[in-house]
Amino acid sequence: MRHWLFLMITASLSCNTLAEQFNVQSPDSDIRVVVDITAGKPSYSVTYKGKPVIRSSNLGFQIRDQAPLQDNLSVLTEDREVIRQQWQTVWGERLQINDHYNELSLQLREQNGDKRTLGLTFRVYDDGLGFRYEFPEQANLQDFIIDEELTEFAFAQNYQSWWIPAYRNQRYEYQYLRSAVSSIDVAHTPLTLQGDGIAIAVHEAALVDYASMTLRNIDDNQKVFRADLVPWANGVRVYASAPMKTPWRTIQIADSAVALMNSDLLLNLNEPNKLGDVSSYVKPGKYMGIWWEMHTGLANWSPGSDQGATTERAKQYIDFAAQHDIDGVLVEGWNKGWEGEWWRREPTFLFDQPVDGFDIEEVSRYAQEKGLRLIGHHETAAGISHYEAQMERAFAYYQKLGITSVKMGYVGTRLENGKEWHHGQFMVRHFRKVVETAAKYGVMVNAHETIKDTGLRRTYPNLMTRESVRGMEYNGGSPDTGNLPNHTVLFPFTRGLSGPTDYTPGVFKFDYQKHRPFNRVPTTLAKQLALYVTIYSPLQMAADLPEHYQGHPAFKFIDDVPADWSESIALAGEVGEYLVFARKDRHSDDWYVGAASNELPRQYALVTDFLDSGAIYQVEIYADGEAAHWRDNPMDYIITQRTLHAGETLILDMKPGGGAALRFVKQ
Ligand code: NOJ
Ligand code: CA
């Protein structure tokens, strides 16, 4: 639903010899963008509160078999818009989103040669800006190949940066590196930067039919990065047909890194809901699954004696889930094709045939009888054509069984038998097809190893969450011993800016050393609870086994914590150090707070001024015990309760690798 508060459109100016500089600024005037077309060459620069952020940076394209589209351009038209509107999310971190921006659109045309036309639009918000190119319909640019996008980001300072390398085998599943931006080679986005009292994140919005943008350092002395579009196997970056619009190149800017997490820029730059009323099947919530026991070596995906997916085991999960506020149970390994080292061969998965020992009809029926749902699973092993050939049938099969949620994955270093990157236009197209097919059959999507999030969940509200991060799974079975304690207080400032993360928190049993002697979940138990608030996902897993939760007083927090919010506030934090989030339940007056630390102990004074002023709350506090330590004493925690007046301060005492989780129930 859209609430039009104020919309002003200035007249379009048609000029022959226009000024060569165009200014556009944020509603609060803090962010200023200058677009310059001097000598026919477009460039832009950005300042924040008077400080340079992006120095003059080139714009344009290299189109195959054509002259570069970046000089010899003149301005044909200039349009401006002032938009002040508000819209409501179907689900999310908050209910209402302000969409307030000032827009500048230029039509540029080559003065000679092919006389091609290129549109350039900048939208400037208080929390950042987006710009994109448009190729209108024209005679000399119809179906074409983009060999390079020449967009540059010339950073004003040698900012501190947090990044993961692009073009690597494990896709986005790396721990973030911290370095001066000049020492990056090529990085995925979001790339988060800090320095000179400013925090910045470069990413993209509305990646619909294009290659994803990575950032390549082309001049480390000058800190200049260029958009490096992930190519197809044949070297083509993008197959394009005019008319078309590129994704938005986004630059979020704030006073601090923690404030970046309160930005709605990416959602604002995506198109509104295209699916209409999805309330019959799109439901944020929590899930469990036959999953962690595979990752910790207690069971196997392959059929046989260790087979995790059995009717009996699924019913045990369902029985536990039904006694708690858990909406779904995932079963990995339920279908045929998991034998042996499935990730090393051509995929053999069949998506409508259950493995022996797993009666899917009975399990699905039993789940519904108990008031929840079975969650489907499509592991593709990166075999896209193998999957696409079955996709329609696979989703119809789920629909028939009453399954309204699927987890999927693309394990493999490249797609299509080692050919395509996971992040090129090939995958972007495939994944959109998945989301659209899922919508057709009334299914929510939770995707692993897929393309990064660029805010498409606004347009497709069945696209709930994704992994696209080094997840909890690495703590269970990774030969490199898993994630560092700072990982979960780092990636919300980077990967987390792009959208919901299926990190899969909630591990309560830290002793699985029998099968995994080198692995460890590097948190305390209290921090596991905090992650339900500090990491946003509308489908949030309770990752551990039912018997590890059974009778455990701390499970009450997982039971209570919602997965859909009317408000979310990143209160405090430093990248890779600590993070404190407050969120308000979308369906009650209750608030939740999560506070998480890296390997260092720290105290945080939580001022509860986010609560309804004048109100009294009963607060339940799940905190680290005195001797808690992620390495050798993770289970030490205490639960306390007290009454609190809104505005009071609580001291949260986090131990090494620890945290705190709080529930505020309005009285
Ligand atoms: C990788 C996923 O991230 C993980 O959650 C899943 O269990 C395995 N693939 C198997 O599909
Ligand atoms: Ca994964």
Give the CATH number of the domain where residue 86 resides: 2.70.98.10
Q: Whose CA is nearest to atom 11 of ligand 1?
A: 379
CA of 450 to the centre of ligand 2 (A): 9
Q: Which numbered atom of ligand 1 lies nearest the CA of 504? A: 5
How crowded is the C-beta side of 308, counted as CA atoms within 13 Å? 24
How crowded is the C-beta side of 300, counted as CA atoms within 13 Å? 13
The residue among 234, 268, 302 that closes a domain is 268
Whether residue 286 has its Cβ less than 6 Å from ligand 1? no
Whether residue 502 has its Cβ less than 6 Å from ligand 1? no
φ and ψ at 554, to 5 degrees? -70, -15
Whether residue 471 has its Cβ less than 6 Å from ligand 1? yes
Give the tens place of pLDDT for each residue, 628-642. Answer: 999 999 999 999 999
Q: Whose CA is nearest to atom 7 of ligand 1?
A: 291
Q: Are 109 and 552 in contact (CB under 8 A)?
A: no
Asked if residue 319 is part of any domain, the answer here is no
CA of 411 to the centre of ligand 2 (A): 7
642 DSSP β-pair partners: 619
* Helix, coil or strand: residue 631: coil
CA of 325 to the centre of ligand 1 (A): 24
Give the tens place of pLDDT for each residue, 96-124. Answer: 999 999 999 999 999 999 999 999 999 99
Asked if residue 181 is part of any domain, the answer here is yes
Give the tens place of pLDDT for each residue, 147-164. Answer: 999 999 999 999 999 999
* Angstrom distances, CA of residue 283 to CA of 221, 276, 373, 433: 50, 14, 11, 21
Asked if residue 626 is part of any domain, the answer here is yes
Q: Given CA atoms 319, 322, 323, 327 in this order, what sign does their dihedral have? A: positive
Q: Given CA atoms 562, 552, 503, 624 in this order, what sign does their dihedral have? A: positive
Residue 362: what residue type?
E
Whether residue 204 has its Cβ less than 6 Å from ligand 1? no
- The CATH number that applies at residue 661 is 3.20.20.70
Asked if residue 316 is part of any domain, the answer here is no
pTM of the model: 0.97
Q: Which numbered atom of ligand 1 lies nearest the CA of 448? A: 3
The answer to whether residue 547 scores a pLDDT higher than 50 is yes
Question: What is the rounded CA–CA span in Å between residue 395 and residue 33?
Answer: 46
pLDDT of residue 19: 56
Confidence band for 16, pLDDT divided at 50, 70 and 90: very low
Confidence band for 480, pLDDT divided at 50, 70 and 90: confident
Q: Which numbered atom of ligand 1 lies nearest the CA of 295? A: 7
pLDDT of residue 513: 67
pLDDT of residue 520: 86
Question: What is the rounded CA–CA span in Å between residue 56 and residue 35?
Answer: 9
Q: Are 652 and 526 in contact (CB under 8 A)?
A: no
Please choose from 287, 473, 501, 502 the residue to mutate so as to test ligand 1's pocket, defined by most ligand atoms within 8 A of CB: 473
Give the tens place of pLDDT for each residue, 168-206. Answer: 999 999 999 999 999 999 999 999 999 999 999 999 999
pLDDT of residue 15: 45
Helices (H), 517-570: 525-534, 546-549, 555-560
Q: Structure tokens of 197? A: 């009292």
CA 81 to centroid of chain Cα atoms: 29
* Angstrom distances, CA of residue 230 to CA of 106, 380, 415, 527: 27, 21, 13, 36
Question: What is the rounded CA–CA span in Å between residue 87 and residue 268?
Answer: 9
Q: Are 422 and 415 in contact (CB under 8 A)?
A: yes
Whether residue 289 has its Cβ less than 6 Å from ligand 1? no
First to last CA, the chain: 32
Q: Residue with structure tokens 């070596």?
A: 297
pLDDT of residue 218: 98
Q: Supply the residues annotated as catalytic.
A: 473
Number of H helices, E strands in the chain: 12, 38
What is the layout of strands, in order, in the sheet containing 143-149? Answer: 61-63, 143-149, 238-241
Which H or E run contains 400?
helix 384-401
The residue among 268, 295, 328 that closes a domain is 268
Into how many domains does the chain fold? Answer: 2
Q: Are strands 539-541 and 285-290 parallel, antiparallel or unpaired?
A: parallel
Asked if residue 144 is part of any domain, the answer here is yes
Q: DSSP character for 40?
A: G
pLDDT of residue 7: 45
Question: What is the rounded CA–CA span in Å between residue 68 and residue 37?
Answer: 15
Whether residue 467 has its Cβ less than 6 Å from ligand 1? yes
Q: Residue with structure tokens 């969409």?
A: 99
CA of 375 to the centre of ligand 1 (A): 14
* Helix, coil or strand: residue 367: helix
Residue 638: what residue type?
I
What is the layout of strands, in order, in the sheet containing 565-574? Answer: 565-574, 578-585, 591-597, 659-666, 616-624, 637-645
Question: What is the rounded CA–CA span in Å between residue 496 and residue 203?
Answer: 12
Question: What is the rounded CA–CA span in Å between residue 141 and residue 221?
Answer: 36
Asked if residue 455 is part of any domain, the answer here is no
Q: Are 655 and 605 in contact (CB under 8 A)?
A: no
Q: Structure tokens of 556? A: 């009450």
The answer to whether residue 515 scores a pLDDT higher than 80 is no
Question: What is the rounded CA–CA span in Å between residue 482 and residue 523?
Answer: 12
Please choose from 288, 332, 474 the residue to mutate so as to test ligand 1's pocket, defined by most ligand atoms within 8 A of CB: 332
Cβ-proximal residues to 341 (8 Å cutoff; 6+ apart), any chain: none
What mean pLDDT is predicted for residues 213-234?
A: 97
* Angstrom distances, CA of residue 111 to CA of 42, 117, 445: 13, 10, 47
Please choose from 169, 338, 413, 448 the residue to mutate so as to test ligand 1's pocket, defined by most ligand atoms within 8 A of CB: 448
Whether residue 127 has its Cβ less than 6 Å from ligand 1? no
CA of 332 to the centre of ligand 1 (A): 8
pLDDT of residue 512: 67
CA of 598 to the centre of ligand 1 (A): 25
Q: Are 151 and 214 in contact (CB under 8 A)?
A: no
Percentage of the chain lying above the pLDDT 90 cut? 94
Q: Whose CA is nearest to atom 5 of ligand 1?
A: 473
Whether residue 293 has its Cβ less than 6 Å from ligand 1? no
Residue 275: what residue type?
L
What mean pLDDT is predicted for residues 246-256?
A: 99
Q: Are 516 and 292 in contact (CB under 8 A)?
A: no
More confident residue, 38 or 398: 398
Q: Whose CA is nearest to atom 6 of ligand 1?
A: 409
Whether residue 473 has its Cβ less than 6 Å from ligand 1? yes
Least confident segment among 477-481, 499-503, 617-621: 477-481
Please choose from 338, 348, 379 the residue to mutate so as to test ligand 1's pocket, defined by most ligand atoms within 8 A of CB: 379
Whether residue 333 has its Cβ less than 6 Å from ligand 1? no
Confidence band for 519, pLDDT divided at 50, 70 and 90: confident
Question: What is the rounded CA–CA span in Å between residue 214 and residue 443?
Answer: 31
Give the tens place of pLDDT for each residue, 420-471. Answer: 999 999 999 999 999 999 999 999 999 999 999 999 999 999 999 999 999 9
Whether residue 411 has its Cβ less than 6 Å from ligand 1? yes
Q: Are 183 and 220 in contact (CB under 8 A)?
A: yes
CA of 200 to the centre of ligand 2 (A): 27
- Please report the beta strands in 326-477, taking only residues with DSSP state E, as ranges in sequence order: 328-331, 373-379, 405-409, 444-447, 463-466
Of the bound ligands, which one is closest to the alpha carbon of residue 504? 1
The answer to whether residue 328 scores a pLDDT higher than 80 is yes
Domain residues for the domain of 481 are 473-499+514-535+555-667
Residue 366 CB: number of other CB atoms within 10 A?
Answer: 19
Q: Residue with structure tokens 């193998």?
A: 386
Question: What is the rounded CA–CA span in Å between residue 168 and residue 185?
Answer: 12
The residue among 214, 239, 268 that closes a domain is 268
Asked if residue 606 is part of any domain, the answer here is yes
What mean pLDDT is predicted for residues 342-359?
A: 96
Asked if residue 7 is part of any domain, the answer here is yes
Of the bound ligands, which one is closest to the alpha carbon of residue 171? 2
Which residues line ion ligand 2, judged by CB < 5 Å? Answer: 448, 467
CA of 173 to the centre of ligand 1 (A): 12
Which H or E run contains 368?
helix 360-369
